[in-house]
Structure formats: C-alpha cells, structure tokens
Amino acid sequence: MIEVRNLSKSFGSNIVLDNVDLNIENGQTMCIIGKSGCGKSVLLKHIVGLLAADSGTVKVDGKNINQLNKSELFDLRRDIGYVFQGAALFDSYTVFENVVIGLLEHGVKDKQILRSEAERCLSAVGLLPDKSEVSEDEFLRAWDILSNKKPSDLSGGMRKRVGVARALVGSPKYIFYDEPTTGLDPVTSEQIDFLISDIAKKVKVTSLVITHDMFSVFLIANKVAMLNNGKVQFYGTPDQLRQSDDPVVKEFLERYN
Ligand SMILES: Nc1ncnc2c1ncn2[C@@H]1O[C@H](COP(=O)(O)OP(=O)(O)OP(=O)(O)O)[C@@H](O)[C@H]1O
Ligand SMILES: [Mg+2]
C-alpha cells in the first residue's frame, strides 16, 4: 500500500503540494484528477522517488521513499511500472528495446528472458496475438513485424500500448499511468481505458491513473482523488464524486464532462 503523509513541495514561491495526505490501498485503481498544473505529475514523481519532498513522507509497502539509498530505491522501482506522460519512448530504439529497457538497466542480458518478457507484455497490451491462440509461425511473423519497428512507425494508440507494455515488464505490484489517454481519439482512448481495467483485473496490480478524462474516471476508478490548490479537495468513490456538493468539484465535473 502507498501512504502519503503531510507531503509538501514548493518550487521557489510556487507551492505545489501543501500537506497532502493520501492512501492508495492494494488492489485499487485510483484516479487522480485536477486542473492542469495542480501538481498531479509532481505527486506521482514523489511516490516513485523522482522528486524529493520538502516535508512529509511517502511510504510504499511500509518503506519510506526518502530514506532509501540509491540501490534500495532502484530495487523498489522494480515493483512500480510507470507509464510516463506522453508515452516517452526512445525514438532511436526498437519496440523490443523500448519494452525491455528496465530489464537492461537492471543488468538482465539473457536474450531468452528479454524476448519472452517482451512477448508476454506486448501480448498483454494486444499488440501481439496471444501465443496460445495462434500457430508458432503466425506468432513469429507478428513478432518480427512489430518488434523491429521504431516508435515513429507507430500510431499514437500503439505508442501508448508500448508504454504500457514497458510498465508491465517484471510484473510490478503497482502501475502508475500519467495521462494515458491524452491526445488520443475517443475510440482509442476507450481502448486504452479497457486495457487499464483489464490489466488491473488480470494481473491484480494496484493502479494509479492521472487523467483529465472524466469518462475514463467513471469507467476505471474505484477511488478518486482530486487535487486543488495543493490540497486533496476530494477523496472518495466515483459515485461520491458525482454526488458531491462541493462547488469546486462540481465546477470541475461540468468543465471536464
Ligand atoms: N521540476 C520542476 N521545477 C519547477 N517547477 C516545476 C517542476 N515540476 C513541476 N513544476 C511546477 O509544478 C506545478 C505542477 O506541475 P505538474 O506537472 O505536477 O502539473 P500537472 O497537474 O501534472 O499538470 P498537467 O495536467 O498539465 O500535466 C506546475 O506549476 C509546474 O510548473
Ligand atoms: Mg502532468
């Protein structure tokens, strides 16, 4: 479980997080919503230890992120898959290399392991057929076509899927998605939403999804947290969100629905 306590972060005079408290229980799919620039990505970066807090704590499975040394943090990151805002694939790398980059960074060199993990994760996101459902030849053909492609050869939706496949490598306990549907058309967005729900169910990960897309929220979330002026303005279920009397919440819903 992830426990955020009294987390504060400013950049110069810009107070971004102001005593934020948030629990993300295992098995949940939590959506984090809020206006552009309200600190959603900054919050996520604290949870993975990419940013250090001014004060307050973040604990992942009881471990205080700020107190871990580099190698402990490196190990903990294995438990967390991160789908960066805008997919963030390496343009000069192939799809295969992009998917297994985390394993390469962790020193895995065994080609068989790299290949089978890439196959598994690319199948899980629907970019490759299920190995058990097609002939070996068919699978091999699909693999050859996809794995050697560069990100520039892919559509926006496919790039997001590659980003999700990369996050699935190593079977993490947590997956964080930073605006996974932004920039996609409504049909492709919905496919990515279904993918997120599907992964949450099938591999029982705890998911944290930053999104502007209220359609996504009501489709995938069991909990919602809304950030506003550095605080958690709302925390509850999607139903409670819909019924909220809070004017800030209502205004947000009207604007983004
Ligand atoms: N490394 C940084 N240095 C200085 N300011 C930063 C840094 N990272 C973020 N900020 C500022 O912190 C605030 C929150 O940024 P953040 O990226 O978390 O917003 P967001 O809620 O994710 O917005 P969006 O929905 O547009 O992605 C912004 O004002 C941003 O300019
Ligand atoms: Mg952001």
pLDDT, averaged in runs of 10, over the chain (257 residues): 97 96 95 95 93 95 90 87 85 96 91 96 93 94 96 92 93 93 87 90 90 90 96 97 96 85
Bridge partners for 158 per DSSP = none
Find out whether 222 and 29 touch, Cβ atoms under 8 Å. Answer: yes
Q: Which of 8, 20, 35, 40 to mutate to test the pocket of ligand 1 (most atoms within 8 A of CB)?
A: 40
Ligand 1 atom 20, closest CA: 37
Instruction: Give the pLDDT score at 202.
Output: 83
Dihedral of CA atoms 223, 227, 231, 232 in degrees, nearest 10, equals -10
Ligand 1 in contact with 40 (CB < 6 A)?
yes
Find out whether 54 and 48 touch, Cβ atoms under 8 Å. Answer: no
- Mark the residues whose beta carbon lies below 5 A from ion ligand 2: 41
Instruction: Give the pLDDT score at 41.
Output: 94
What is the number of the ligand closest to the CA of 39? 1
Instruction: Give the pLDDT score at 3.
Output: 97
Find out whether 170 and 103 touch, Cβ atoms under 8 Å. Answer: yes
Instruction: Give the pLDDT score at 86.
Output: 75
Ligand 1 in contact with 241 (CB < 6 A)?
no
Strand order in the sheet with 2-11: 14-24, 2-11, 55-60, 63-64
Ligand 1 in contact with 165 (CB < 6 A)?
no
Q: How many residues does the chain have?
A: 257
Instruction: Give me the DSSP letters along 32-101.
Output: EE--TTSSHHHHHHHHTTSS--SEEEEEETTEEGGG--HHHHHHHHTTEEEE-TT----TTS-HHHHHHH
Instruction: Give the pLDDT score at 76.
Output: 86
Instruction: Give the pLDDT score at 94.
Output: 96
Q: Which residues contact 2 (CB under 8 A, 6 or more apart)?
A: 22, 23, 24, 47, 58, 59, 60, 174, 206, 208
Instruction: Give the pLDDT score at 37.
Output: 93
Bridge partners for 60 per DSSP = 2, 63
CA 42–ligand 1 middle distance (angstroms): 6
CA distance 66 to 84: 21
Ligand 1 atom 17, closest CA: 41
CA 94–ligand 1 middle distance (angstroms): 30
Instruction: Give the pLDDT score at 253.
Output: 92
Instruction: Give the pLDDT score at 178.
Output: 93
Instruction: Record the pTM.
Output: 0.90
CA 46–ligand 2 middle distance (angstroms): 13
Ligand 1 in contact with 10 (CB < 6 A)?
no
CA distance 148 to 51: 34
